[in-house]
Structure 1
Amino acid sequence: MLSDFVDLLGKYIEVEISGGDFHKGILIDAGLDIIVLNDGWTNSFLYIPFVHVQRWKEASLDEEYTSFNPPSEKPIEADTISFRKVLTIAKGLFVKVYVTGNKSIHGYITSIMNDYFVFHSPVYKTMFISMNHVKWLIPYSPNTIPYSLNKENLPLVPISTPLARSFYEQLKRLENQLVIIDGGDHTEKIGLLQKVRNNKMMLITAEGETVYRNLEHIKTIQLP
């Protein structure tokens, strides 16, 4: 357990993570690279990679928590918790992942590679998500199905081609294909991935403009 969190275990704390995002909850667990908060309003468990934690402190208990007892069972149980172990155990569970912007992504983790994982979303379909940019993850109970869909309407289509071990190599395999970066929140993040070299990418937009991007800042990528 992260030594600085030992004294706060079981207490109500406030955490600030990258991007000015704040979360409050009961500190349930902490590992070498991750902490776990229980949110009393939704009774959700937030798994927050420590690399994105900017500050934390014990907070005053909100009124909603005065009679709240965290559930005895966590959705992910492990003797020693870590970010990779959380991802591994969460495979097949319906989860919510937050990486950037004002929206989170709902779906299933299907494959875990060295520094990224493959995510199947009923809305966005297959996505490749960089582990370095995951701000938090919420796993749901095993019986939860997204959007109340029937399982027949939620096919987990496997990737037909072999996956590269690294995010960089996977992006290289997408050269000469149309891609959507970070959910397409800007027109310059949708286009033809022409080239990936030296940790940079060259993207041709719909208007024919060439845009270069640093791969260190690419959070998610998907095919339209």
Structure 2
Amino acid sequence: MKQQHPLMNSLIDLDISGKSSTLRGKLVDMGQDILVIHNSQQFVYVPIIHLQQMRAANTQDASNMTFEVPETPFEQANDTISYRKTLMNAKGMFSELYITGNQSIHGYLTSVMNDFFVFYSPVYHSVIVSLTHLKYLIPYSPNVTPYTLTPEQFPLKPSPLTLARTFDQQLRKLVGEFVILDLGENPNKIGVLKNVDQNMVELATAGGNSVYLHLDHVKTIHLP
């Protein structure tokens, strides 16, 4: 049996870590570590770890958002939803991710490891994403492709990286490489990965100075 929440099938507002605007939609499913809303156009999968607040939407504001919800794209009617199961089911499906900053990334989820996954984007190519930093995932309809690119223009490719089981092991494999952390939102997160020592990541920036970051705050890593 699916877990029932008092707000199930109600229109709700969600406040999510790192996102200034509120997410609004009908709560259609909820598990121990992920919930699903439908915003009249798309399903939005939100890991509960980033849920700061969930509340019923103001009925006056929401009066124009009465809609029928289609069947969810992944889970069967009596399946219990989970974060990992959602990621596994999303492999190969064109999706939108929100991780950090003011922009989403679009592409295909290609691999799911112990505590990270690999997302292939026409803009960033293979992006390694920590499981703890995905804010939400939106799967698109099967007939939608990134930027209307044809399969010939944007073929789904396996990651060229040799994948480790864990995020910190993956970073260690990239020591010596020129990398971009957190989608390059900060110039100090672009440079040569010099070392990963316990929970500290050392990066040599453009000026040759070393910057140290705690591993838990590294959201994504990709090669230019």
TM interval, shorter chain, is over 0.9
Q: CA deviation at 1:47?
A: 0.3
Structure 1: distance between partners of 2:176 and 2:195 = 7
Structure 2: distance between partners of 1:140 and 1:154 = 16
Partner of 2:180: 180
Matched AA of 2:81: I
Counterpart secondary structure, 2:5: helix
Partner of 1:28: 28
| TM-score, structure 2 as length reference | 0.93
1:120 and 2:137 correspond: no
Partner of 1:56: 54
Q: CA deviation at 1:74?
A: 1.2
Structure 2: distance between partners of 1:115 and 1:25 = 28
Structure 1: distance between partners of 2:178 and 2:162 = 19
Q: CA deviation at 1:22?
A: 1.5
Counterpart secondary structure, 1:84: helix
Partner of 2:12: 13
Partner of 2:86: 86
1:99 and 2:99 correspond: yes
1:175, 1:194 within 8 Å by CA — same for their partners in 2? yes
Structure 1: distance between partners of 2:7 and 2:130 = 30
Q: Which runs of 5+ in 1 are unaligned?
A: none
Counterpart secondary structure, 1:183: helix
| TM-score, structure 1 as length reference | 0.93
Partner of 1:77: 75
1:2, 1:32 within 8 Å by CA — same for their partners in 2? no
Partner of 2:141: 141
- Worse-matched range after superposition: 91-100 or 18-27: 18-27
Superposed CA RMSD in Å reads 1.5
Structure 1: distance between partners of 2:172 and 2:135 = 25
Q: CA deviation at 1:2?
A: 8.3
2:10, 2:26 within 8 Å by CA — same for their partners in 1? yes
Structure 2: distance between partners of 1:103 and 1:161 = 25
Q: Describe the superposition over 1:42-85 as per-residue Cα deviations: whole angstroms up to 9, x where unpaired.
A: x111100001111111112423214x2222x1122241100000
Size of the alignment, in residue pairs? Answer: 219
Structure 1: distance between partners of 2:197 and 2:21 = 33
